[in-house]
């Protein structure tokens, strides 16, 4: 009897998602779902094998507004990814709309319409939106219309609580970026060993969110994201979903070390946890009080905006 590798073991109690725009890498790891973002698409289109996809999309929609051509490109990648996986793909709304609820809703509806025009059922698409107050309200409106969302750039408990209140389909707390902030903040006093595994600040954040959701019967799915090492992944085994880069998927597949479940819904339901809710003022204050989350949310939006601009330049040159 062969021993299951860590990737196979993880799939027994967590839905594994591929975090990449490079759809040629996806099939090797047989993930259920896949996620993309502007940075991953930018990285992919600069590879020679994807250059024709960019050129073809631009040529087919030449003369249309650049934002519309961009959505066609994102959907093109999404359709290719969906041909390789049984589940869902996440496609991101332009991060420059992160503080505009109405514009985010309109852009999300257009992306879903483009998928439908390609014969893709809307149930196989999650619209990724930054977890600002405005983004969360846009997601609430979209969910009421039957368009499912993935709230990204999520770094704080208050963001997760507000997403649960909005009944969003899924959230993506960013484990690695939380870890990065605390490590940088600690400087020379950082204790790598003492801040690893279940003591990793990013892991602790996801565990708190997961336990809160399961305790109070919140249906929103928790998908840990942005991993820096295998220890962060194995410490969250049992989370609803984990979105993992091809590099770390490869490491999991190469390891046969034991991988026990770490998060459990039944255990969470037995915990003594306080009820928490936020209105807009409470949300903004709680986020403001969390320096890490405030800084990483702003930084993440800026980075996605910068990569979107780079993508637009490539499209203009195609």
> What is the rounded distance in angstroms from the CA atom of residue 62 to the CA atom of residue 60?
6
Distance from C-alpha of 214 to C-alpha of 209, rounded to nearest angstrom: 9
Closest by Cα among 193, 194, 195, 225 to 209: 225
3-class secondary structure, 305:
helix
Residue with tokens 């309109």: 106
- Residues counted in the chain: 318
The residues annotated as belonging to the active site are 128
Least Cα distance to 278 among 266, 286, 267 occurs for 286
What pLDDT is recorded for position 63? 93
Coil vs helix vs strand at 172: strand
**What's the number of CA atoms in the CB half-sphere (13 Å) around residue 255?**
17
pLDDT at site 24: 85
Task: Assess contact for 162 and 278: CB atoms under 8 A.
Answer: yes
Cβ-in-10-Å burial (0-12, 13-18, 19+) of 55 comes to middle
Burial letters 80-100, b for 16+ CB under 10 A, else e: bbbebbeebbbbbbbbebbeb
Angle, helix 51-60 to helix 66-82, in steps of 10 degrees: 130
DSSP 180-210: HHHHHHHGGG--TTTTSGGGSHHHHHHHHHH
Residue 237 in 3-state DSSP?
coil
266 burial level (CB within 10 Å; 0-12, 13-18, 19+)? exposed
Please state which CATH class domain 6-317 belongs to: alpha beta
Tokens of 206: 């996801």
Residues of the chain with pLDDT under 70: 1-2
Q: How much is the pTM? A: 0.96
Give the C-alpha separation, 184 to 279, whole Å: 32
Dump pLDDT digits (tens) for 260-293.
Answer: 999 999 999 999 999 999 999 999 999 999 999 9
In this structure, are residues 80 and 23 in contact, taking their beta carbons and an 8 Å threshold? yes
**pLDDT at position 2, please?**
62
pLDDT, residue 128, reads 98
How wide is the angle at C-alpha 273 spanned by C-alphas 271 and 276, nearest 5°? 150
């Amino acid at each position: 009897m062969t021993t299951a590798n860590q990737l196979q073991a993880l799939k027994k109690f967590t839905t594994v998602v591929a975090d990449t725009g490079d759809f040629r890498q996806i099939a090797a790891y047989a993930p259920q779902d896949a996620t993309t973002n502007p940075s991953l698409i930018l990285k992919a289109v600069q590879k020679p094998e994807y250059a024709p996809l960019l050129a073809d999309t631009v040529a087919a929609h030449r003369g249309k507004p650049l934002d519309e051509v961009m959505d066609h490109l994102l959907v093109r990648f999404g359709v290719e990814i969906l041909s390789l996986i049984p589940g869902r793909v996440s496609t991101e709304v332009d991060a420059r709309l992160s503080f505009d609820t109405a514009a985010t809703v309109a852009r999300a509806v257009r992306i879903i319409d483009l998928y439908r025009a390609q014969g893709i059922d809307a149930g196989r698409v999650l619209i990724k939106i930054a977890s600002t107050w405005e983004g969360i309200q846009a997601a609430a409106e979209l969910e009421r219309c039957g368009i499912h969302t993935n709230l990204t750039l999520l770094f704080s408990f208050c963001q997760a609580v507000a997403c649960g209140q909005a009944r969003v389909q899924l959230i993506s707390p960013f484990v690695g970026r939380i870890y990065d902030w605390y490590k940088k903040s600690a400087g020379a006093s950082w204790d790598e060993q003492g801040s690893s595994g279940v003591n990793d600040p990013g892991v602790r954040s996801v565990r708190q969110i997961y336990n809160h959701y399961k305790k109070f019967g919140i249906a929103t799915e928790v998908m840990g994201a942005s991993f820096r090492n295998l220890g962060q992944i194995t410490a969250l085994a049992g989370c609803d979903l984990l979105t993992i880069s091809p590099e770390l998927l490869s490491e999991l597949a190469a390891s046969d070390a034991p991988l026990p479940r770490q998060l459990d819904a039944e255990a969470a339901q037995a915990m003594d946890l306080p009820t928490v809710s936020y209105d807009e003022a409470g949300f903004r204050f709680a986020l403001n009080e969390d320096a890490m989350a405030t800084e990483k949310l702003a930084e993440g939006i800026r980075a996605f905006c910068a990569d979107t601009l780079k993508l637009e330049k490539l499209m203009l040159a195609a």
